[in-house]
Structure 1
Amino acid sequence: MFELKRYVSRPCKTWATKSNYMKPFEKLIAGLGVLAITASVALTACSKSADTAEVSDEVSIYLTDDAGPFDNVFVDIRYVEVKVQEGYENKEHEGDKDDDDDDHFDDNDKDGDNDNKSKDQFGKWDTLSIRPGVYDILKLRNGVDTLFAKGRVKGRVRKIRLTLGRENSVVLAGTAYPVLLHPGINNYVYIRTLNRHHEMLAAKHIGFWVDFDISSSIIKDGSKFYLRPVIKPFCEKQFGKVQGKLVAADLHTFVKIYNAKDSGAAIPERSGEFKIRGLNEGTYKAKFVGVSASRLVDTTINDIKVVKGKETIIPTVTLRR
């Protein structure tokens, strides 16, 4: 757990001036004036505080995986922070006008402008509690997730920021390879969040799921592997999921669900079962592809309907050589 340092303001010193030596009557008049101003400021401050009173929300972030064709993918995660817009509350997506405005609030808040910053005009960064270290992302596939980070914030969560370490690697066909950060990017990963990306788990407790898209995040260039993280936020209520089962001569198979705007992927379990979460509503295709030297014939299924908050079941698929 990381300790969030707080900065405490120091009292100002009072310096002697001519006003310290005024005559008693002048001091009385001046004192009454100061008292009136102080009372006015206090009333204004109390009114403002009542109008923008904030109650802290508990935030939970769950990590899951959109699988890729590897044995293991190890990602080193050191910090998780959330960018909070103070004075605004976290609420569930209702499809109203306020939500439309929310979609464009921070269009000018560029990710690169946040590097090494604790706050700006769009909000401040709060550090959440996590277990820093290396995560085997592929263990979090087919509907599995883990409580990844948690904490309390005052205000609306606008972005999530991950800070990556250097101990990143993949295992492919039993051989481990180091994974470097892709040229041109640093160790910060930003995830923009909207109202539809979280749900209320309980009163004043919001939950996000972040889907690490391994197949898009790991890039092979010659004999080297690079990491360019692609992470998608979602929640169960506002996104759909697809579940199915694969029967094949062997299970070295990669499943991809896709349309023109969205996609997801899975590697079936030994039982052949798979699940893909965090899909936007729409009509998708499912493609089943044999990896390595499996020599399985690729199969595509069309017209898969995905509905938010629902699970779509695909009929059992059989692949043959």
Structure 2
Amino acid sequence: MNSCSNNDTTTSAYPVAIKMTDAPGPYNKVFIDLQGVEITGSGGQTVTLNVKKGIYNLLDLSNGVSTLIATDTLQISTVEQIRLILGTNNSVVVNNVSYPLSTPSAEQSGLKLQVHQTLQQGILYSVLLDFDANKSIVDLGNGGYKLKPVIRTIETAISGSITGKISPVGLAAVSAVNSTNPLLSFSTSVNANGNFTVMGLSPGTYNLTITPASPLLPVTKTSIIVTAGITTDIGTIAL
């Protein structure tokens, strides 16, 4: 395994920042034990980034909140894969009771995310890892839980976001669908304060649907324009 030296001034430098966020889920807390972040570039060269090791509560990272987990300056111009290495201290809190999360695949080889991105010299390559806690936890049905991570990579410089709030505050699912390409569909949930942010949207026009708990009816907002690098605030939506 190779790690690039930041003292080498004879080669091109490509700054990298890796951040982590989360889509809200029906749990009190979701803790993951982050121990390492690696990037694999062209030719199979692997670089170990400077990582902020620790146990992170994913539910602190909802509604557009993110945290920086790794930075470095690379001497490789392409990124093919990002690999997260987790420790064994992963857990989920359900109804205020803590349960360990088994992570067999992560312990063996890490969480591998395919990226395929060419870097530009001197321009910060920032990647947001959208860790979906709701879809990533499997109830084994025997009192145990398993971590099967569902993570979406978001390149913040080439994507936009939609943010807003619902009233009254309550459980609700939020989906954003590209009006010209329905296959571009993204979803999240509102948080405890009624706020939501749908991130990683390619530029274009979107229709956003909020589906609250019964007896409230779904509400759709149409023709929302998303611009790269911009968060579009649609304000408070009355249900």
TM-score tier by shorter-chain length is 0.7 to 0.9
SS at match of 2:146: strand
Counterpart CA distance in 1 for 2:92 and 2:215 is: 24
SS at match of 1:138: helix
Counterpart CA distance in 2 for 1:184 and 1:285 is: 34
What is the aligned counterpart of 1:130 among 51, 72, 87?
51
Letter in 2 for 1:242: I
Q: Is the 8 A contact 2:86 2:106 kept in 1?
A: no
Q: Percent identity?
A: 26
TM-score, normalised to structure 2, is: 0.80
What is the aligned counterpart of 1:262 among 185, 198, 220?
185
Shift of the 311–5 alpha-carbon distance from structure 1 to 2, 3 Å rule, reads closer
Counterpart CA distance in 1 for 2:109 and 2:101 is: 13
SS at match of 1:142: coil
Name the counterpart of 1:217.
Answer: 136
Name the counterpart of 1:176.
Answer: 98
Counterpart CA distance in 2 for 1:296 and 1:168 is: 37
RMSD: 3.0
Letter in 1 for 2:40: K
Shift of the 235–269 alpha-carbon distance from structure 1 to 2, 3 Å rule, reads farther
Of Structure 1 and Structure 2, the greater helix share is in 1
Letter in 2 for 1:214: A
The structure whose Rg is larger is 1
Counterpart CA distance in 2 for 1:73 and 1:314 is: 29
TM-score, normalised to structure 1, is: 0.61
Structure 1 unaligned segments of length 5 or more: list them. 7-52, 86-121
SS at match of 2:89: coil
What is the aligned counterpart of 1:289 among 212, 216, 219?
212
Letter in 1 for 2:97: T
Q: Is the 8 A contact 1:256 1:264 kept in 2?
A: yes
Name the counterpart of 1:145.
Answer: 66
Counterpart CA distance in 2 for 1:207 and 1:167 is: 27
Name the counterpart of 1:226.
Answer: 146
Shift of the 285–274 alpha-carbon distance from structure 1 to 2, 3 Å rule, reads closer
Q: Is the 8 A contact 1:170 1:177 kept in 2?
A: yes
**Deviations 1:100-123, CA, capped at 9 Å, x for gaps:** xxxxxxxxxxxxxxxxxxxxxx32
Counterpart CA distance in 1 for 2:4 and 2:157 is: 35
Does the alignment pair 1:237 with 2:174? no
SS at match of 2:134: helix
Q: Is the 8 A contact 2:27 2:94 kept in 1?
A: yes
Counterpart CA distance in 2 for 1:72 and 1:278 is: 24
Name the counterpart of 1:102.
Answer: none
Counterpart CA distance in 1 for 2:46 and 2:201 is: 28
Counterpart CA distance in 1 for 2:60 and 2:69 is: 14
